[in-house]
Amino acid sequence: MTKSREEKSHDPGRRKFLKGVGIAGAGAAIADHLWVEAEGAESTATPESLSGTVKVVLDVNGQKREAQVEPRTTLLNTLRNHLDPAVTGPKLVCDVGTCGACTVLLDDKPVYSCLVLAVDATNKKITTVEGLGTPDKPNAVQSAFVENDALMCGFCTPGFVTTISAYLKKNPNPSIAEVREACKGNFCRCGTYPRVFEAALAAAKGSQA
């Protein structure tokens, strides 16, 4: 059985996670089954056939989205560069699973979408920050980030909001220590951590009220 990013975050360090995943295993970190409609003859997979593209159908924020990508294309790259319109909430920062800016939910579990192959996400429910709420109807975490001024440049914000939204479903009344632990896979280069944690606690309180 494979582990989500969240589960893996309990390992002593993300280096261990990366070691376990690697590029070749990026997809294997998530999926058990593929739902890929390959161009040409799938049954005669050769190096030549793998050098082409495949059609993937992704369930993104409740919509079926199709893309034509190389099998090595990450979910992050597919969302941002191979869908029309693009899904740009998840951000590309490190591209190697160290920062959390690309966090999305796969079947409600946070993962680094830069470490997941699109072909491995085809039979999963993908939720990005756009799917958590809208400007008119933000979810509790999105509202709390605005109310608590929990961002500066905002580049890390979609990742934090996604991680915290998933975590509060699991633990609706966390301590600040638990929020910090839940967020340890997300980095903020602007250093807004105190406000981020305040926002998470405020969202938890607001949801309970």
* Least distance in angstroms from the C-beta of 100 to ligand FES: 5
Closer by beta carbon to ligand FES, 71 or else 97 = 97
Q: Quick one: which of 105, 106, 183 has its CA closest to 150?
A: 183
Q: What would the two tokens of residue 33 be? A: 């089954």
Read off the amino acid at residue 93: V
Closer by beta carbon to ligand FES, 57 or else 152 = 152
Closer by beta carbon to ligand FES, 38 or else 165 = 165
CA–CA distance, 48 with 93 (Å, rounded to integer): 32
- DSSP string of 161-209, one letter each residue: HHHHHHHHHH-SS--HHHHHHHTTT---TT--HHHHHHHHHHHHHHHH-
* Least distance in angstroms from the C-beta of 49 to ligand FES: 29
Binding residues (CB under 6 A) for ligand FES: these are 92-95, 97-102, 112, 114, 151-156, 188-190, 192
* Least distance in angstroms from the C-beta of 60 to ligand FES: 17
* Least distance in angstroms from the C-beta of 201 to ligand FES: 18
CB 72 within 8 A of CB 117: yes
Closer by beta carbon to ligand FES, 38 or else 113 = 113
